[in-house]
Structure 1
Amino acid sequence: MAPWAHLALASVFTPLLLASPVPDESESTHSHKRAAEGYDSPPYYPTPPGGWVPDWSEAYSKAHDLVSNMTLAEKVNLTTGTGFFMGPCVGQTGSVPRLGIPNLCLQDSPLGIRNSDHNTAFPPGITVGATFNKDLMYERGVALGEEARGKGVNVLLGPSVGALGRKPRGGRNWEGFGADPTLQALGGAQTVKGMQSTGAIAAIKHYIGNEQEMHRMSSIVTKGYSSNIDDRTLHELYLWPFAEGVRAGVGSLMTAYSDVNSSSCSQSSKLLNGILKDELGFQGFVMTDWLGHYSGVASAIAGLDMSMPGDGAVPLFGDSYWGSELSRSVLNGSVPVDRLNDMVQRIVATWYKYGQDKDYPLPNFSTNTQDKEGPLYPGALFSPSGVVNQFVDVTSNHNITARAVAREAITLLKNDMDILPLHSDDSLKVFGTDAGRNPDGLNSCADQGCNKGVLTMGWGSGTARLPYLITPQEAISSIAKNAEFHITDKFPSGVTVSPDDIALVFISADSGENFITVEGNPGDRTKAGLNAWHDGDELVKAAAEKFSNVVVIVHTVGPILMEEWIELKSVKAVVVAHLPGQEAGNSLTDVIFGDYSPSGHMPYTIPRSEDDYPDSVDLISQPFGQIQDTYTEGLYIDYRHFIKANLTPRYAFGHGLSYTTFNFSQPSLSTKTPLDSAYPAARPTKLPTPSYNTSIPDASEVAWSSAKFTRIWRYLYPYLDKPESITATKKYAYPEGYSTEPHEVPRAGGGEGGNPALFETVFSVQLEVRNTGKRTGKAVAQLYVELPSSLGLDTPALQLRQFEKTKELAPGQSETVTLHLTRKDVSVWDVVVQDWKAPVNGEGIKIWVGNSVADLPVLCVVGGKCSVQ
């Protein structure tokens, strides 16, 4: 690891940090250990400029015209946030009013507009992943984009595809789509496409290795953990969904707080310049997570484009690593002018690419207050006031989409004696606070930082206020004629039990972001582990002692242990409703009363014991010194691990029952683009990028004396006092390996997401899916690839690579499903050649299709035949 990860040249130190800089990796006095041997982050300079991808050429041409006419102050203004609480949104850039560019509003969250009003609280990513429905993924993305646009949000901070779910107790796994790179990739890409079809810009996050909440952040006294990931694991697991997001045209990307291989994600030249912007051909802009900016010059030359919310190490001190310090760094020559120009043109090109120059609304809400009027800059000691909330209703008919997503995600794990669906005249006894309302009131917990009432989402910045909530209690009571409710987590004494009674027991498990601790859990599930909260296991067992028929309904952020009660004779059914959002009750009753058959499938594995996981995926709590979190399990997380370890989980990845049955038949395999070589065809020639005048601008462009407005204290500006005194004669100690000579283009690159040849369809599997049961329902065909040992690499036995969900099929009805595989889908990452390698002619590849990773009746052998087991 080169000693540059936290370089902060004197030209960009804020006064606060001169005394206590974030330590450089080369210092012998800092307390954390270096990354594990073999986990390096080599330097990669300079930043490849954007503008060489044909689909972006028009946007970059427009951006070039604008950026060429900007002053230094105007350029810096777009790269730096205005500061914490310095505007209506969770973050906003400065503006360029002279050229028609407003402050750009950046706002959470991946499931709706955070801290807003008249918005939809959609089901989060983990619920979307459980639908295995690409159309719904896209439809939800469109609705998110429409609401962002309606509120005047330029950049909606989602989707989240990192954390991938490596750590089962990780706090924010629920924001992503599941513990598989393909499920995450397709969920993320469909969301990006949907969001950006409306003109809103998506921000895919958190890049990369953000798999634990505790100890993630660096500060002037602490150092965020280092995720030590080998090259192949990075490419085949954690980078995979980001690559698909880039391929989908995502406009922005947010870096993680933590390190990868002891290089901070927001200033790792290998991750940003090398992999993201060169190999993956990312054309948008890179932003920090909030207060995840750790240096000035080092981050700029490593490929960072935007600092959010703009503050330095401590918010509301009025200083920044960029802002006026970036102006200084350009004037003194430590940040090259062409790097600044590329930062700005990436931001402006994305603004043009998604049509935000044409009547895009300005923010009409405030993330800081629910009042109509208030301070315009709450972070300032003295702020002008005005109307900050216009209460614009952006919900349209999005409740329909929200309900459909929550409904199609509902996963039936067990249904003995076909106890489900219920009937409206069944005698029901309902137990558990998870069936009811939060007794303190709707949205009474900031950022949903509690687990009271039905669990609709986890907690933290990835949430939204619920505009309303249909609880299971309300929905059940509107249907069932004989329902009795006990909204308590302690089994009540004196409950009368009849032989025909059915007990519905609601339990939950929560998690969230590290800035809130809930019931002793600091984001990650440290105290709760993988058990249900509020003694949920005891509630189920108590009900099972009294009732002959028990249905367990689970709202959860991730896997929970069920061993204490899953095999009890009276526990007839288990329903995982994931995190349903505002339509919690309606979506559930849609399924349990039989209006729809369940069609969700598990987006992660449910184990029999937490000991079944490899030790390396445990949470790490180490308050002093940098945590070295080494990914020694490599490619073997979730179901990949269980298969390799020959462990039978309680419920396999992809498992999900229906009220009907389906049959897969008549499979056929066709070859599209032949795999006539191990490596893809040579990448296309890289097109020229826009060029600019690289002369250092006149210092007067950032002189305070030229500013013609009232200065707001703590607001971050690009201006300097006496900038004319700054010269560019000093030589600066750049990071080891720094160069202004471009790298040879990576052979795996060539387009957005990588070499376009990687995404050519090489095989297609076609099969008939028939409803062989007595009820209408939807089936999911999951395709897994088994790669041959001839590749010479240790590779997981099965890897999800594609899925398709059928339409509603009536009894006896069938649908022909086609699943396409790309070259990349059947490749491994060659760490020596630095390219994707596939078996020539597909020799030895086996393709499995079925209902889950543990139920794959269809087998197609490349070069051979297809069969049904």
Structure 2
Amino acid sequence: MTLEEKCNSTAGVPSPCAGYVPPITRLGFNGMCLQDAPSGVGDGVGFVTSFPGGIHTAAMWDKDLMFKRASIMGQEFREKGVNIALGPMINIDRNALHGRNWEGFGSDPYLSGMNAYQYVLGLQDQGVVATPKHYIGNEQETNRLSDSYSANIDDKTVHEIYLWPFADAVYAGAGSVMCSYNRVNQTHACQNNKTLNGLLKNELAYRGNVMSDWGATHAGVESALGGLDIEMPGGSGFMGYALLAKVHDGSLSEARVNDMVTRIFAPYFLLEQDQSFPKLDWNRDVTHDHYKVNRELARAGMILLKNLRNTLPLNASVNRLLTIFGAAATQYDGGLNPGGGPTGQGYDGAIYQGGGSGFVKPTYGVDPLSALLAKARDSNFQIQFVTRQTDFDAVSSLASAPLCLVFISAWSSEGSDRQNLNAWNQGDKLVQTVAAKCASTIVLVNSVSQLNLEAWVEWDNVSAVIWTAIPGSEYGNALVDILFGDYNPGGKLAFTIAKKDSDYGTNITQTPDSNYTEGVFLDYRHFDAAMITPRFHFGYGLSYTTFSLTELKIAKVIDQTTSNVSDLYTPAYIVSLYITNTGNVRGSEVVQLYLGFPDEAAEPPKVLRGFSRVYLEPGETMTVTLTMRVKDISYWNVITQQFTVANGNYKVYVGTSANWDDLKLQGSFIV
């Protein structure tokens, strides 16, 4: 490559894709297509699968399904001719109001990291480059562009919380990383020498490229020297051809340009995209029979939060009349690409995904009411409904029914943060109006992330609650499977649901500075330390069956010494136990391992360090083995600047949620 060709490769060019690495005709290189989104082929492309969002995937707590989702998604990207997929989104759910929480994997870095790892493996297994984003500290939308707020994060917190999932993505072999709009400790993220060169490329030994978010580049030479390798979408005049003159005047070395180009092209050749990669074709139908996997994913991420008097599962021969309420049960009258409805803050209709660049245009969408009507036809029961969300007279007139299903929702999008944690369009009043008369009221919560449920959740007439999250286009079919017991719910919360909004301890900042003063005490870590009782704990979710955990064993694997990054991923301790399905139906349980550190580490009372979703027949017993890596038992030592294993007594807690009462097995080991 000539120097000019090299420089040109560091900025995108116009194309039918969201971004495009420019072709080099002389060398027979046709360029690389970059396309959203983290939950499928996005940017309005048709004939693709609209998968469950990231937050729904995190609620599955199932590594095999995480991989399967990413692999099928990668197949669709590849068949469309997309070289680089702009996902996963792995920013932490620090603020419940963050508009993009639905794209990410929740509030815990370990859970988010495992999702990131499986996503990169699954996507790149199909020969498509993964792009973990937005690096780093992009935990709100407010002021992300106009003032480029600064995420001010201390050294320990950035390593143990916000860098953690990116480290797992890098360890999985991610070919690209997207830097974010915000500043980090006052320096723009896309020219931040400390985060890009210091943390990502040196400390994590990352060998792929760093691309800018669209329009997040603020300078040329400063960005290149700061660690940015390619600017997107290009056209700003900062990088690309503009760097040629900077090399000639000595302000940028050709060695650095060579490094940038090597990083840009390395994933292309590593994934063998130079060998028979499909040509770009947006009209190619790539859906195949992916609806089957999509239905499986949708079911796996739904969470049973409440089930008094065994209201669920329903029995079509007993529950002969179902009365349905709420606009969230049916299709939005503006179509399948709502864009937030007329207000931009939500809309009356089933939510398949959130909004923004992460939204994938559904080829179709099965809303709950349509699926229930089909079930009624096949099973011969009666349905009546009111979907006019605020017609409370009509709602009240039908609310004396024997069994009621109330659908409420909350939507959010890239570009703005949520205004509150209330259900859309008087959803709480809708529930109250129905539950005031209906003794068996089932509430279905179709939400992008945390919601305040206190207006009705303790009512005795609210006998069951299912968190349906954002399940993709098979929503209705998946929900019917759960309602009637064809699938036993086993999803778990990927965040805490508080009783009071202020209990979260963090919020969106309206100023140019977002100070992460909570440190590592985020979500359940904060609730534990402050001794605040939430409404529903992180990791919580019910089942139609019951399980018992017995015989905890802890075994040391190696001495915990580290000399390089890969050593941190070496197994250190093996935790094993037995789990038995003590109920009468097949089901799954997520075995969760939390670790309490010695005082030296200055950690929260417990942190997640392992999990496994186990599927069992009635009466079946299985051995569960959970591996803690060296990194999992380490804390970031700000003095030595490395992950360090503390000396002292470590406490091991194993159970089914972050609730202390659910951690039935306890043990310890001493280092």
Question: What is the TM-score normalised by the length of structure 1?
Answer: 0.74
Amino acid corresponding to residue 294 of structure 2 in structure 1: A
Summarize deviations over 1:223-281 as a string: whole Å, max 9, x none: 30000000000000000000000000000000010001001100001111111000001
Structure-2 residue corresponding to 1:370: none
Whether contact under 8 Å (1:207, 1:253) holds in the other structure is yes
Pair 1:360 & 2:277 matched = yes
Structure-2 residue corresponding to 1:483: 383
Structure-1 residue corresponding to 2:612: 804
Pair 1:763 & 2:654 matched = no
Provide the C-alpha distance between the structure 1 equivalents of 2:469 and 2:111, rounded to a whole number of angstroms. 16
Summarize deviations over 1:677-702 as a string: whole Å, max 9, x none: xxx3333xxxxxxxxxxxxxxxxxxx
Whether contact under 8 Å (2:303, 2:466) holds in the other structure is yes
Give the 3-state SS of the residue equivalent to 2:445 in structure 1: strand
Aligned to 1:262, which of 186, 211, 221?
186
Provide the C-alpha distance between the structure 1 equivalents of 2:548 and 2:652, rounded to a whole number of angstroms. 18
Structure-2 residue corresponding to 1:190: 118
Structure-1 residue corresponding to 2:297: 405
Amino acid corresponding to residue 79 of structure 2 in structure 1: G
Tell me the CA shift for residue 178 of structure 1: 0.9
Summarize deviations over 1:555-604 as a string: whole Å, max 9, x none: 11111111110111200011101101100101111111100111000000
Pair 1:525 & 2:426 matched = no
Structure-1 residue corresponding to 2:665: 858
Tell me the CA shift for residue 491 of structure 1: 4.8
Give the 3-state SS of the residue equivalent to 2:131 in structure 1: strand
Amino acid corresponding to residue 347 of structure 1 in structure 2: I
Pair 1:582 & 2:477 matched = no
Tell me the CA shift for residue 176 of structure 1: 0.6
Aligned to 2:334, which of 436, 440, 463?
440
Structure-2 residue corresponding to 1:782: 592
Whether contact under 8 Å (2:339, 2:355) holds in the other structure is no
Q: Are the structure 2 counterparts of residues 542 and 414 from structure 1 closer, same or farther at C-alpha, using a change threshold of 3 Å? A: same
Tell me the CA shift for residue 500 of structure 1: 6.2
- Structure 2 matches for 1:24-39, cutoff 5 A? none
Provide the C-alpha distance between the structure 2 equivalents of 1:642 and 1:173, rounded to a whole number of angstroms. 20
Whether contact under 8 Å (1:74, 1:95) holds in the other structure is no
Provide the C-alpha distance between the structure 1 equivalents of 2:24 and 2:421, rounded to a whole number of angstroms. 50
Aligned to 1:471, which of 367, 375, 397?
367
Tell me the CA shift for residue 362 of structure 1: 2.4
Q: Are the structure 2 counterparts of residues 270 and 863 from structure 1 closer, same or farther at C-alpha, using a change threshold of 3 Å? A: closer
- Structure 2 matches for 1:294-305, cutoff 5 A? 294-305=218-229
Provide the C-alpha distance between the structure 1 equivalents of 2:489 and 2:123, rounded to a whole number of angstroms. 27
Give the 3-state SS of the residue equivalent to 1:770 in structure 2: strand
Aligned to 1:165, which of 81, 93, 102?
93
Amino acid corresponding to residue 217 of structure 2 in structure 1: H
Pair 1:74 & 2:5 matched = yes
Whether contact under 8 Å (1:284, 1:347) holds in the other structure is yes
Give the 3-state SS of the residue equivalent to 1:554 in structure 2: strand
Provide the C-alpha distance between the structure 1 equivalents of 2:95 and 2:401, rounded to a whole number of angstroms. 42
Larger strand proportion of the pair: 2
Whether contact under 8 Å (2:340, 2:347) holds in the other structure is no
Structure-2 residue corresponding to 1:570: 461
Amino acid corresponding to residue 6 of structure 2 in structure 1: K
Give the 3-state SS of the residue equivalent to 1:778 in structure 2: strand
Aligned to 1:291, which of 215, 225, 229?
215
Mean Cα deviation higher: 487-496 or 344-353: 487-496
Provide the C-alpha distance between the structure 2 equivalents of 1:576 and 1:405, rounded to a whole number of angstroms. 14
- Structure 2 matches for 1:319-334, cutoff 5 A? 320-334=237-251
Pair 1:682 & 2:559 matched = no
- Structure 2 matches for 1:140-159, cutoff 5 A? 140-159=69-88
Give the 3-state SS of the residue equivalent to 2:510 in structure 1: coil
Provide the C-alpha distance between the structure 2 equivalents of 1:816 and 1:512, rounded to a whole number of angstroms. 42
Mean Cα deviation higher: 489-498 or 391-400: 489-498
Question: What is the TM-score normalised by the length of structure 2?
Answer: 0.96
Provide the C-alpha distance between the structure 1 equivalents of 2:151 and 2:21, rounded to a whole number of angstroms. 30
Provide the C-alpha distance between the structure 2 equivalents of 1:858 and 1:251, rounded to a whole number of angstroms. 40
Whether contact under 8 Å (1:252, 1:286) holds in the other structure is yes
Amino acid corresponding to residue 845 of structure 1 in structure 2: Y
Provide the C-alpha distance between the structure 2 equivalents of 1:801 and 1:491, rounded to a whole number of angstroms. 48
Give the 3-state SS of the residue equivalent to 1:270 in structure 2: helix
Whether contact under 8 Å (1:491, 1:539) holds in the other structure is no
Provide the C-alpha distance between the structure 2 equivalents of 1:204 and 1:393, rounded to a whole number of angstroms. 26
- Structure 2 matches for 1:810-829, cutoff 5 A? 810-829=617-636
Structure-2 residue corresponding to 1:95: 23
Between the two structures, name the one with larger relative contact order (CA 8 Å, sep ≥ 6). 1
Whether contact under 8 Å (1:768, 1:817) holds in the other structure is yes
Aligned to 2:234, which of 310, 334, 340?
310
Amino acid corresponding to residue 571 of structure 1 in structure 2: V
Q: Indicate the structure (1 or 2) with the bigger Cα radius of gyration.
A: 1
Provide the C-alpha distance between the structure 2 equivalents of 1:442 and 1:795, rounded to a whole number of angstroms. 45
Amino acid corresponding to residue 385 of structure 2 in structure 1: F
Structure-2 residue corresponding to 1:134: 63
Percent identity between the two aligned chains: 41
Structure-1 residue corresponding to 2:171: 247
Structure-2 residue corresponding to 1:556: 447
Structure-1 residue corresponding to 2:358: 462
Provide the C-alpha distance between the structure 1 equivalents of 2:450 and 2:10, rounded to a whole number of angstroms. 40
Pair 1:337 & 2:254 matched = yes
- Structure 2 matches for 1:389-428, cutoff 5 A? 391-425=283-317, 426=319, 427-428=321-322
Aligned to 2:652, which of 847, 852, 856?
847
Structure 2: segments with no counterpart, 5+ residues: none
Give the 3-state SS of the residue equivalent to 2:649 in structure 1: coil
Provide the C-alpha distance between the structure 2 equivalents of 1:499 and 1:171, rounded to a whole number of angstroms. 37
Structure 1: segments with no counterpart, 5+ residues: 1-69, 313-319, 366-390, 515-522, 684-754, 865-869
Amino acid corresponding to residue 804 of structure 1 in structure 2: S
Whether contact under 8 Å (2:400, 2:437) holds in the other structure is no
Pair 1:119 & 2:48 matched = yes
Q: Are the structure 2 counterparts of residues 782 and 447 from structure 1 closer, same or farther at C-alpha, using a change threshold of 3 Å? A: farther
Summarize deviations over 1:828-851 as a string: whole Å, max 9, x none: 0000100111134xx401111110
Provide the C-alpha distance between the structure 1 equivalents of 2:624 and 2:119, rounded to a whole number of angstroms. 22
Whether contact under 8 Å (2:70, 2:119) holds in the other structure is yes
Summarize deviations over 1:42-77 as a string: whole Å, max 9, x none: xxxxxxxxxxxxxxxxxxxxxxxxxxxx01221122
Q: Are the structure 2 counterparts of residues 100 and 196 from structure 1 closer, same or farther at C-alpha, using a change threshold of 3 Å? A: same
Count of matched residue pairs: 659
Aligned to 1:271, which of 195, 200, 206?
195
Q: Are the structure 2 counterparts of residues 498 and 351 from structure 1 closer, same or farther at C-alpha, using a change threshold of 3 Å? A: closer
Pair 1:631 & 2:631 matched = no
Give the 3-state SS of the residue equivalent to 2:82 in structure 1: coil
- Structure 2 matches for 1:642-791, cutoff 5 A? 642-675=527-560, 680-683=561-564, 755-789=565-599, 791=600
Aligned to 1:509, which of 410, 423, 430?
410
Amino acid corresponding to residue 525 of structure 1 in structure 2: R
Whether contact under 8 Å (2:445, 2:466) holds in the other structure is yes
Amino acid corresponding to residue 483 of structure 2 in structure 1: I
Provide the C-alpha distance between the structure 2 equivalents of 1:488 and 1:813, rounded to a whole number of angstroms. 46
Whether contact under 8 Å (1:767, 1:817) holds in the other structure is yes
Provide the C-alpha distance between the structure 1 equivalents of 2:244 and 2:478, rounded to a whole number of angstroms. 53
RMSD after superposition? 1.5
Amino acid corresponding to residue 510 of structure 2 in structure 1: S
Whether contact under 8 Å (1:486, 1:492) holds in the other structure is no
Tell me the CA shift for residue 794 of structure 1: 2.4
Whether contact under 8 Å (1:310, 1:322) holds in the other structure is yes
Pair 1:619 & 2:429 matched = no
Structure-2 residue corresponding to 1:15: none
Summarize deviations over 1:162-184 as a string: whole Å, max 9, x none: 1x011110110111111100110
Tell me the CA shift for residue 486 of structure 1: 1.1
